[in-house]
Copies of this chain bind each other. A is one copy, B any other.
Amino acid sequence: MPSPFDAHLDPVDANYQPLTPLTFLRRSAAVFPDKTAIIHGDWRCNYRDFYARSRQLASALKQRGVGKGDTVSVMAANIPPLLEAHYGVPMIGAVLNALNTRLDPAAIAFILEHADTKILFTDKGFSAAMKEALALTKATPTVIDIDDPLAESGELLGDEDYEAFIAAGDPKFDWQYPDDEWEALALNYTSGTTGNPKGVVFHHRGAYLNALGSVLSFRYDADTTYLWTLPMFHCNGWTHTWGLSVVGGTHVCLRQIDPPLIFDLIDRHKVTHMSGAPIVLNMLIHAPEGAKRSFAHGPVDIATGGAAPPSAVIAGMENMGFKVKHLYGLTESYGPSTECVWQDDWDDLSFDEQVGKVARQGVNVVTMHEQRVVNPDTLEEVPADAETVGEIVLRGNTIMKGYLKNKSATQEAFDGGWFHTGDLAVLHPDGYAEIKDRAKDIIISGGENISSLEVEEVLFRHPDIMEAAVVAMPHDKWGETPCAFVTTVSKGADLSAADVIAYCRDNLAHYKCPTKIVFGELPKTSTGKIQKFVLRDRAKES
């Protein structure tokens, strides 16, 4: 016999609805119809029209036969059509795949095929790589051009224009909630630790919760004006694409990291919040003095992650009127899983001590169920002694559904009931985690993950190269760049570093290319595995 607390008390429509971030835009359109939702150059769009344009997009996609489980890819800068796609695409149950605009044509071609893209929206500004990618890929999406007026150059590749495409849609289209909050919403490719990109699948439940959690972490409210210095293709802009609709905030679009323009926009639109990789902070600090502006409405909150911000960066930003918030997360965790929550008693510390506190990754955000630092073999928690290194593992509703078409990688990532970040950290006595060694193979350059294996694979294909190992090397501007250690075949004795770099630039996105090549024997373990930690030390010293 069921408990009286269960009998006749099953979910029904009145008390159970799928959690989905689509509800946020519908509500903001009702509550704040005349409020500015999006600013792009001189163009402005209020919430009524943001919602109407998203519904038009959904309607137009449906007219073309796009439906549940179909992939719609968007290759675009941080511009209004990409924001609209965050709503219009899932309104018909389709899956949004926001492409990394820095990818090389081969990687784009792979993704379009792997994702089985039905419709591709492509921003004129990225036509060079996309044209090549479309020639390479086996995918045959309908290609629709986004002729952004602020794109400086590029050509139109498709047969149709985005504005004409959505004009055919119904602004009052009767879109549908997902049947299940576990349904796929977005697909984000990450280089991860292996060569081929992996397709991280987000679901509606996770995006809803992560958006709410982000609003809480960053304290967004109806007065929030968010400047898009973070790419929307990074975890859907860490879900702020949806989060701003929770509060009815204002998006300020931005095509590229242009420090004078950024200072100008902050001042002009009274920006309250932004986020980005540490490189963005560095670029702002090193902007020409004449380009910098002071702003009376500050401080401007800026969230950063990927690597701990150095003290000089924090000091530099604070001197310019910013407040830095340190985060940690991965694509697999919808962006920030972890935040360095400020403690009241840190107010009394010296600046250097404060920086030491803030440099740590911290504690799970409130919507992440749990974070632990564990022995990766036993899953036992390490002591909070600031010394014992363990792996950060995560568990909760803001962890991806899994990797698309990759059962084994999904199972491996979720081994033992936890998501394995691959990042190694210590736990401080106050419970804050601090990463000591990030996943061995990943190089983070200018905020972009570069898989060392992918670079190695290219190197391995060079006829004169016998062995190759790529590790991260510290770099003043980019944080890190790849450093390649190679051994040559006997006939390759004349191979120069410049030759190898030029070869890589022909075969890889430029940002993935090694900036330094070291020739010589590779250190190996007794079982023949290359000792990357030795190479990492050598790269640091060089």
Contact = CB atoms under 8 A, between A and B. Distances in A.
Nearest to A407: B8
Contacts of A15: 206, 395-397, 399-402, 414, 419
B5 A184 contact: yes
A14 interface: yes
A410 to B, nearest CB: 6
Contacts of A417: 12-14
B418 A13 contact: yes
B5 A201 contact: yes
Contacts of A69: 3-6
A6 B367 CA distance: 24
A63 to B, nearest CB: 21
A14 B418 contact: yes
A246 interface: yes
A3 to B, nearest CB: 4
A19 interface: yes
A404 B3 CA distance: 10
Q: Which of A12, A19, A370 is most buried by chain B, counting CB atoms within 10 A of its CB? A: A12
B95 A5 contact: yes
Contacts of A4: 69, 116, 404-405
Contacts of A419: 14-15
A156 interface: no
A397 B17 contact: yes
Interface stretch (A23-31, A434-442, A454-462): A23-31
Contact of A14 (B5, B13, B395): B395
Interface in A406-458: 407, 410-411, 413-414, 417-419, 431
Interface string A115-148: 0100000000000000000000000000000000
Given A27-B366, A35-B344, A222-B341, 8 more contacts: A5-B183, A5-B187, A5-B404, A7-B407, A8-B410, A9-B184, A216-B216, A219-B221
Interface of A: 3-9, 11-17, 19, 23-24, 27, 30-32, 35, 68-69, 95, 116, 182-184, 187, 201, 206, 209, 212, 215-216, 219, 221-222, 246-247, 341, 343-344, 363-364, 366-367, 369-370, 394-397, 399-402, 404-405, 407, 410-411, 413-414, 417-419, 431
21 contacts: A3-B68, A4-B69, A5-B69, A5-B401, A7-B407, A8-B410, A12-B414, A13-B414, A14-B414, A14-B418, A14-B419, A15-B402, A17-B369, A17-B370, A19-B397, A24-B366, A27-B363, A31-B363, A212-B367, A216-B216, A216-B247
